[in-house]
Structure 1
Amino acid sequence: MTQAQILTQALIFDVDGTLAETEDCHRRAFNQTFAEFGLKWQWDPPLYGALLKVSGGKERMRAFWHRHPHAVPADALDELIAGMHRRKTEIYTQWVASGAVALRPGIARLIAEARAAGLRLAIATTTTRANVMALMAGTGLNPAWFETMACSDDAPVKKPAPLVYALVLSRLGLAAPLCLAIEDSSNGVRAAQAAGIPVVMSPSAFTQGDNPAGAKAVWPDFGGVSLAMLVG
């Protein structure tokens, strides 16, 4: 076992795009919500891929509104976004809790290997806790396996800001170099880096073009990645 393996005490997982390819499910939930609210907004995959540069669903809707400010009066925007985000969460959580998405290749095995090796597990995500719990219900992950989950409910300043990672470090009581972050996007890599945490990256379907600068390793998926490779 290498020195890096000895030092790594915790794995910190991002969720959307990292644990599972959830983003197209998010996209379709947004589109259904827009239709229910009478908006002619439709986010196709290329547009949604561009909007993912903005972390957080509410923030993404606000960024899109700035491109189409005449669709909704500015003084009604906050209330509308809050209402649409609640409805979008309802739609999305129903879908993923029923098994609409699967874990990405290698994720279940890596989590099992990490637990067997005595590594601590945590979540650091810009999505809501409701979304995380629904995904776990639909994929068979046990929330009890993760010592802490820091979500957008806890850290409103989203990635690439390091707030969510700093919160996880504080809850774990570990120094940043003793952890390893697992991400799919440049925003996530930058957030982990800013918190001082070593990070590896596996781009998702929507983050294939992201800059991996700062990641100590990049893989297309984790199907052929062992725990020793991950933390080595």
Structure 2
Amino acid sequence: MSSNLKALLWDVDGTLAETERDGHRIAFNQAFDALGLPWRWGVLRYGELLAVTGGRERLLHDMARRSDAPILPAEREALARAVHQRKNALYGEIVQAGSVTLRPGVAELLEECRSRGVRLAITTTTSRANVEALLRANLGPSWAAWFEALVCGEDVRAKKPDPEVYTIALQRLRVGPLQCLALEDSPGGVAAARGADVPVLVTRSAYFATAPIEGAIAIGPGLDSRVGWHPALADGDGADRVTLDDLAEWHRRMDEVSALG
């Protein structure tokens, strides 16, 4: 691996795992039911709400359009906190039951990084409890040893697309932005990484399969396939997935890569 790539910085929701449609959305609906609220978020509506970063913020945005939501801002805030707390607990149960798994190719790339000395970090603005539940269920009880930095929603004042999550991760890792590669799935995540001058690769997710993306060094359908990537991948010496060498080559060539759509 001849590039200057020292660390991979991983987004979680949509990137590490397809958590949104069949994880967080389901947990929100279960929380509404548990708290006696006659609200339900369908697949399409939840996709619209993903334009708002953060589960509590999503709730407040949705309540602003509901005639049956509390009128006073303080009451809305209290209800959003209660729903979000219940939802996080329910999401943990969904994940623990094995209903949300890592996206294909993710575990293999994580293992490859560990064996070859490329450092790993989590850079997400979802809650720490959600991250811990997902990684414990999929990587086992010693999951925390895999990552040298874990930056979550509780660690930042501003969520993505603000770059704060990335600037904190760089500080904790003590590396420069151009020594890293961020893995994201959404325009907001890409904007956050680029705002911190971190090169970014996009693995498109269910909710952002056709979203316009600008400024990524590579865009593709997932780490488990070498087909459909831009820039295109060369023959992988028998590999049928995206490898660390592929990421290193894109990283090495990033100055040649213009914005991709």
**Range into which the TM-score falls when normalised by the shorter chain:** over 0.9
Residue of structure 2 in register with 1:99 after alignment: 98
Q: Aligned equivalents of 2:96 and 2:189: distance in 1?
A: 24
- Correspondence for 2:254: none
SS in 2 for 1:206: helix
The DSSP-based 3-state class of the residue aligned with 2:153 is coil
Contact 2:27 2:90 in 1 (8 A): yes
1:228 is aligned to 2:229: no
Secondary structure at the counterpart of residue 122 of structure 2 = strand
Gaps of 5+ in 1: none
Residue in 2 aligned with 1:195? 196
Secondary structure in 2 aligned to 1:29? helix
Q: 2:121 aligns to what SS in structure 1?
A: strand
Question: How many residue pairs are counted as aligned between the two chains?
Answer: 229
CA distance in 2, matches of 1:132, 1:231: 26
Q: Which residue of 2 aligns with 1:81?
A: 80
More deviation in 171-180 or 61-70?
61-70
Q: Percent identical across equivalent pairs?
A: 45
Which amino acid is the alignment partner of residue 89 of structure 2? E
Aligned pairs for 1:24-39 (under 5 A) are 24=21, 25-39=23-37
TM superposition shift of 1:71: 2.1
TM-score, length basis structure 2: 0.85
Distance 2:27 2:157 in 1: 21
Q: Match of 2:14?
A: 17
Q: How far does residue 39 in structure 1 lie from its aligned partner after superposition?
A: 1.9
Deviations 1:152-191 (A, max 9, x none): 0111311000011111001011111111000011110010
Contact persistence 1:105–1:222 (CA under 8 A): yes
SS in 2 for 1:72: coil
| 1:46 alignment counterpart | 44
Query: Counterparts of 1:66-215 in structure 2 under 5 Å?
Result: 66-74=64-72, 75-140=74-139, 142-215=143-216
What letter corresponds to residue 119 of structure 1 in structure 2? V
Deviation at 1:118, TM superposition (A): 0.5
Q: Secondary structure of the equivalent of 1:101?
A: coil
CA distance 1:48–1:116, shift in 2 (3 Å): same
Distance 1:69 1:155 in 2: 32
Q: Structure 2: any 5+ residue segments left out of the alignment?
A: 225-240, 250-261
1: CA distance between counterparts of 2:56 and 2:101?
25
Question: If you compute each CA radius of gyration, which structure gives the higher value, 1 or 2?
Answer: 2
Asked if 2 retains the 8 angstrom alpha-carbon contact of 1:100 and 1:138, the reply is no
Contact 2:184–2:203, Cα closer than 8 Å, also in 1: yes
Of residues 134-143 and 171-180 in structure 1, the stretch that sits farther from structure 2 once superposed is 134-143
Runs of 4+ in 1 over 6 A off after TM superposition: none
Counterpart contact for 1:183–1:200, Cα < 8 Å:
yes
For CA contacts below 8 A with separation 6 or more, give which structure has more relative contact order: 1
Q: CA deviation at 1:69?
A: 4.7
| Aligned residues: CA RMSD | 1.2
Structure 2 distance, partners of 1:221, 1:203, is 7
2:51 & 2:182 partners in 1: Cα distance? 19
What one-letter code is carried by the residue in structure 1 that aligns with 2:146?
W
More displaced 10-residue stretch of structure 1: 36-45 or 66-75: 66-75
State the Cα distance separating 1:18 from its structure 2 match: 0.6
Report the Cα distance in structure 1 between the residues aligned to 2:59 and 2:116, rounded to whole angstroms. Answer: 41
Task: Between 80-89 and 140-149, report the one with greater CA deviation.
Answer: 140-149
